[in-house]
Amino acid sequence: MTSGDLTTGDAPRIVRDVVCGFCGLGCDDLEVSVSGRVIVPKKACADAARLLARGDVPPPSPRVNGKAASLEEAAVAAARHLDAAHSAVFAGLGADLEGLRRLYDIAMVRGASIDHAASGGLFANLERLARRGWIAATLAEVRNRCDILVLFGGDPAPAFSHFFERALPVAAPGAADAAPLFVAAPGQRRVVVIGGPLSEASRRVLAGHQITEIAVPEGEVATAAAVLVAYLANRDVEMIPAVSGIAGAALAELADVLKAARYGVFTWNAATLAPDEAAAVAGAAAEAVDLLSVTTRAAVFPLGGRDNVTGAHQLALWRFGYPLRTVVGAGTARHVPELYATAVALRDADLLLHANAFRPEPPPAFDRGPVIALAHAETVFAREPEVFIPVGTPGVDHGGHVFRMDSVVCLPLQALREKELPSLAEAAAAILKALGGAA
């Protein structure tokens, strides 16, 4: 990011190499124009452009029961509700690491279950990872070593617009650094889609590679993955239910190609698959890697990480010894993912604390008690929360840190404009102070 003051009078300021914390890919080449409060994206995917853009609109003030209040008054009101609660649910959790630390502090002081809005895909993957483990690649390994990428499910571009550009770049004239380091010829890299179809935009990005699409009806991707594993293991494929519209020869040929590859990678977006199918795909991908690793190299690369769900997961492990979907308080922690997923936990809750600084997504429907919202300033609520504290966005209004989807890189986000809203960490710290905890 370019250095210097955040204010330059009326002249727009161009900021390059902006790090994006929204989707989990951690792209660091965005470009925006900043003039006072106004931010106009110049180089960004559609999702990042929408979430980065800001107009010349004064920020809203906190509200208590729909009436304007100071941050301190809102924090006291939130603390009063938390003091009275017996079964609080902390949901959303779209925050940078410092904001998450403060939210977890409140949960430890008053007791609450914690879950991220984007944890569904994460837990579909954790089912296999917790039972048997897997061998996972980093984004750099995929970029520099992968010679065949197998994608289970649909095109990842709607959720991860630049995935193919980041993972399988094709060197352009004058951009030799985009070429992979350990692949003999970039044009020899293969992309096999089991599901699909790919969009025209993704086809253009992958134009320098060999693309194979094995069409699979929705709901049958896991079965196709099981057939592929059976071929890799030389098992009797006849024992597996047939996949509609799939020629067995296509998967058999793919198995042979994978066995001959130097570094095969399997990827999928669990959030776009049904929960049972996502878990089965994750298990099949991990089993395929186990089989291939006897004679060659292979790894999984699960897609995910929206709104720092990876950071929320990592921080929960550090703080409590358990992942998300855990209830904490009174010096104890209890992890029961079936009970503490947000939708289930809310059935018995008497308070909802919704936190999301990255995007204006409203909290889930809840009418069993008060709602405390530490949320994006543009959030539209189905019903007015008892306490609403508008917070700034990490990487826009203030700095922060988020984890990339592969869990190995913690990315620094920098402010793009002068801060007018408290960070989520500051809002949570004010509530913690009102509760009598250490701020």
Give 10-residue mean pLDDT values along the chain (439 residues): 52 94 95 97 96 95 98 98 97 98 97 97 89 92 95 95 91 57 70 94 92 90 93 82 67 95 96 93 96 97 96 96 95 95 98 98 97 98 97 98 95 96 98 79
Assess whether 237 and 167 both reside in one domain: yes
> What pLDDT score was predicted for residue 217?
85
Assess whether 238 and 167 both reside in one domain: yes
Residue 229 lies in a domain: yes
Assess whether 98 and 140 both reside in one domain: no
> What pLDDT score was predicted for residue 331?
87
Assess whether 179 and 74 both reside in one domain: no
> What pLDDT score was predicted for residue 11?
81
Angstrom distance (rounded) from CA 15 to CA 2 = 6
Q: How far apart, in Å, are the Cα atoms of 193 and each of 154, 156, 202, 306?
A: 8, 11, 12, 23
Assess whether 171 and 286 both reside in one domain: yes
> What pLDDT score was predicted for residue 235?
86
Assess whether 288 and 366 both reside in one domain: no
Q: What is the domain range of residue 97?
A: 63-118+306-394+419-435
Assess whether 339 and 388 both reside in one domain: yes
Closest CA to 48 of 130, 162, 202: 162
Note if the pTM is more than 0.85. yes
Assess whether 105 and 139 both reside in one domain: no
**Would you give the DSSP letter of residue 188?**
G
> What pLDDT score was predicted for residue 225?
95
Residue 92 lies in a domain: yes
> What pLDDT score was predicted for residue 4?
44
Residue 108 lies in a domain: yes
Assess whether 173 and 237 both reside in one domain: yes
Residue 20 lies in a domain: no
**Would you give the DSSP letter of residue 305?**
-
Assess whether 255 and 344 both reside in one domain: no
